[in-house]
């Protein structure tokens, strides 16, 4: 990578949020850095996007108010007939996004349990929701917020109450940041690949293009999946995305930009089915943890560490800023309610203090974009970094709308062979697992709420062990003695299914607000799911996931573990109740940007390469539905 001159180029952000957004315009005198495939291409892209934005701004209102009106019948609240446009946005033709073709007939614009949905490819499914949810999608009013996931969750047009409402969520793992254990078949097709970096290189070498990755985006999740998430009694999704959704540098083999529109498609489906979204920046330049789900495995941590560490962190903040600008727009801010800064930064290597500096820097930049207080852009989630949540308890004091995202697994803690079909304290199957979850996680999340503020279990699974294909990486199996039994999910006994379910219920109860990892595991090349306990949908279909997540309430109490249902209050700033929140000057002084030191760097980080934002900054295009979705795999 080329090295930018070591001049501090981010001073214009200052550390006092709330300033004029004009200050965000980067200093133009430094030639923009990045090791882009081609800066000219990016400028063209930006120019093109600007033209499209202007076109849409002018054309769409005309289209919606005049052209579509001619289509006749609009509203309808029918239980069962077809939805004429499942795209969630403007056009639903497969041609150019710039020439929407009105659909000849317009179906109902909302429906409840039993209504029939027609997907973009013409296939239909029945929307099933036993919990009083209803979908809403009106192509004449595409940003409507009337959908409701279920009767106990507020519709999108009402605010989310972080004290009284509970997040029952699921991750959309492995869709835009691929992982061998989530979509094994595509990795098996290219032997030797073990992360998306390798996979992208192998696909490009074999085909001369990366279309196969776009095919994955198009087919791994379809509208039916998002409808089923709402039908499962869930109300939020956590949606991981990699930086290559925005752009890539010259030496980065990822598919550039393509996932963005598919990302927006998921968001529009979330809107349609009443689900709120936490967007999670799952992979950042340089790798924040050296793991395959950061995009690149085994090349160390070059983000907030090493000579490119500050450069990569500033490049990350730039992407977070343009993403936040996009999703703070009125049409998105009530659907995308939170943004995760960086998934699982390796805090043990990076250290708390440099990460605290990064979090403060990102917070200031993002809040300068959004302003303060409820309704002004997303909540900001900081991930616990694979360390106890307590290490963040004193961070960002007084900051506006910040949450901690904890990831809780026993899987990677060594083999435990306690039988899950044995009786637990309450006489039901589960063995020692439910109580272990309640004891380990209940107090941790309770304390995080008391000491920091809103806290979520952003990732966990139903797996008590590492018996799953590729969970330890491609080429590494498990030597756990119960793997034959755990892998044979088609033949689980009733006791096994009930035991797993009780372990999951105890996990739900411990977290309070949670996102299971993940909704779906794709088949391996053998044609079957080989990481069964990581798939919410597989467990629902086969009886080991709870059909009603509310069953979890009181599970830990039944385990004889102190009731963990949290009933405190949050500091008002944490839930947007302070119009001009301030972070104490002493805290800002303690965590300067760049930090006083970072890992793997001998001297002062202030002399390291810095990232200069390009001028103009990248513009993220609006949703176009020119990507018809094929049948789910």
**Which residues of the chain form contacts with ligand NAG (CB under 6 A)?**
146, 148, 155, 157, 180, 194, 291-293, 297, 442-443, 446, 450, 472-474, 488, 490-491, 562, 564, 568
Closest CB 297 distance from ligand NAG, rounded Å = 5
- Tell the smallest beta-carbon distance from residue 439 to ligand NAG (Å): 9
* For ligand NAG, the closer CB: 443 or 592: 443
| Of 9 and 193, CB closest to ligand NAG | 193
Among residues 545, 562, 544, the alpha carbon closest in space to that of 554 is found at 562
| Sequence-distant (≥ 6) Cβ neighbours of residue 324 within 8 angstroms | 339, 366, 369, 370, 377, 378
Nearest distance in Å: CB 482, ligand NAG = 14
CB of 474 to ligand NAG, least distance (A): 5
Closer to ligand NAG by CB, 168 or 187: give it. 187
Sign of CA dihedral 548, 554, 558, 563: positive
Instruction: Report the nearest approach of ligand NAG to the CB of residue 199 (Å).
Output: 11
CB neighbour list of residue 264: distance below 8 Å, 6 or more residues apart? 89, 622, 623
Query: Among 517, 592, 629, which residue's Cα sits nearest to residue 179?
Result: 517
Torsion over CA of 304, 308, 310 and 311, rounded to 10 degrees? -130
Least distance to ligand NAG from the beta carbon of 91, Å?
26
Smaller CB separation from ligand NAG, 274 or 351: 274
Measured from the CB of residue 487, what is the shortest distance to ligand NAG in angstroms?
A: 8
Residue burial 372-401, b: 16+ Cβ < 10 Å; e: rest: bbeeebbbbbbbbbbeebeebeebbeebbb
Beta strands in 234-368 (DSSP E): 236-242, 276-283, 336-340
CA distances from 53 to 25, 160, 269, 344, 537 (A): 20, 30, 22, 35, 38
CB of 198 to ligand NAG, least distance (A): 9
Nearer to ligand NAG, 168 or 246 (CB): 168
445 or 503: whose CB is closer to ligand NAG?
445
CB count, 10 Å around CB of 249? 18
Nearer to ligand NAG, 488 or 548 (CB): 488
Question: CB-wise, 41 or 299, nearer to ligand NAG?
Answer: 299
Distance of closest approach, residue 540 Cβ to ligand NAG, in angstroms: 19
Alpha-carbon distance values, 269 to 149, 273, 580 (Å): 12, 6, 34
Residue 136 or 245: the one with the smaller Cβ distance to ligand NAG is 136
Smaller CB separation from ligand NAG, 39 or 159: 159
Q: Shortest distance, CB of residue 564 to ligand NAG, whole angstroms?
A: 5
The DSSP 8-state label assigned to residue 618 in this structure reads P
Closest residue to ligand NAG, Cβ-based? 473
* Bridge partner list, 402: 380
Nearest to 91 by CA among 239, 211, 261, 230: 261
Whole-number Cα distances in Å, 252 to 186, 285, 616? 20, 9, 22
- List the structure tokens of 72: 């006749």
Cβ atoms of 173 and 182 within 8 Å: the answer is yes
């Amino acid at each position: 990578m080329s090295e930018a001159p070591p001049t501090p180029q981010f001073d214009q952000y200052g550390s006092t949020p709330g300033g004029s957004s004009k200050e965000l315009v980067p200093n133009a005198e430094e030639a923009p850095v990045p090791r882009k495939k081609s800066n000219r291409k990016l400028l063209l892209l930006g120019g093109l996007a600007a033209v499209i934005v202007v076109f849409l701004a002018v054309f769409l209102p005309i289209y919606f108010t005049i052209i579509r009106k001619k289509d006749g019948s609009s509203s309808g609240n029918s239980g069962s007939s077809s939805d004429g446009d499942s795209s969630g946005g403007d056009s639903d033709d497969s041609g150019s996004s710039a020439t929407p073709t009105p659909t000849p007939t317009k179906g109902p614009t909302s429906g409840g349990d039993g209504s029939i949905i027609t997907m973009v490819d013409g296939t239909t499914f029945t929307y099933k929701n036993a919990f009083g949810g209803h979908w809403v999608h009106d192509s004449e009013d595409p940003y409507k917020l009337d959908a409701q996931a279920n009767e106990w969750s507020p519709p999108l047009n009402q605010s989310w109450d972080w004290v009284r409402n509970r997040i029952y969520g699921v991750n959309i793992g492995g869709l835009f940041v691929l992982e061998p254990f989530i979509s094994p078949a595509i990795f098996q097709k290219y032997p030797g690949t073990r992360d998306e970096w390798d996979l992208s290189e192998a696909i490009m070498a074999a085909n001369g293009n990366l279309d196969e990755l776009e095919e994955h985006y198009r087919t791994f999740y379809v509208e039916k999946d998002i409808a089923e998430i709402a039908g499962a009694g869930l109300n939020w999704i956590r949606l991981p995305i990699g930086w290559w959704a925005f752009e890539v540098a010259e030496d980065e083999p990822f598919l550039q930009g393509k996932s963005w529109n598919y990302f927006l498609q998921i968001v529009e489906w979330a809107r349609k089915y009443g689900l709120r979204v936490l967007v999670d920046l799952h992979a950042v330049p340089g790798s924040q943890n050296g793991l395959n789900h950061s995009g690149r495995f085994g090349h160390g941590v070059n983000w907030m560490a090493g000579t490119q560490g500050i450069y990569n962190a500033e490049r990350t903040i730039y992407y977070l800023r343009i993403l936040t600008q996009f999703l703070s727009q009125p049409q998105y801010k009530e659907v995308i309610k939170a943004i995760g800064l960086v998934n699982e930064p390796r805090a043990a290597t990076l250290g708390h203090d440099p990460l605290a500096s990064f979090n403060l820097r990102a917070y200031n930049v993002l809040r300068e974009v959004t302003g303060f207080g409820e309704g002004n852009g997303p909540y900001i989630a900081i991930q616990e970094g694979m360390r106890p949540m307590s290490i963040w308890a004193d961070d960002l004091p007084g900051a506006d709308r910040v949450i901690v995202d904890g990831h809780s697994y026993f899987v990677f803690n060594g083999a435990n062979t306690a039988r899950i079909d044995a009786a637990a304290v309450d006489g039901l199957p589960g063995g020692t697992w439910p109580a272990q979850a309640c004891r380990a996680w209940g107090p941790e999340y309770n304390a995080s709420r008391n000491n920091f503020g809103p806290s979520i279990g952003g990732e966990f699974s139903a797996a008590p062990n590492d018996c799953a294909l590729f969970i330890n990486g491609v080429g590494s199996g498990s030597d756990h003695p119960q793997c034959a039994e755990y892998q044979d999910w088609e033949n689980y006994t009733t006791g096994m299914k009930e035991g797993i379910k009780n372990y999951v219920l105890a996990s739900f109860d411990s977290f309070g607000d949670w996102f299971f990892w993940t909704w779906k595991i794709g088949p391996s090349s053998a044609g079957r799911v080989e990481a069964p306990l990581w798939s919410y949908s597989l467990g629902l279909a086969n009886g080991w996931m709870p059909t009603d997540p509310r069953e979890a309430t009181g599970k830990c109490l039944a385990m004889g573990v102190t009731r963990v249902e949290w009933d405190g209050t949050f500091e008002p700033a944490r839930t947007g109740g302070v119009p001009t929140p301030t972070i104490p000057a002493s805290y800002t002084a303690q965590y300067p940007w760049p930090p006083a030191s970072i890992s793997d760097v001998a001297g002062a980080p202030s002399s390291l390469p810095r990232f200069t934002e390009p001028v103009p900054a990248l513009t993220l295009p609006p949703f176009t539905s020119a990507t018809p979705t094929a049948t789910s795999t």
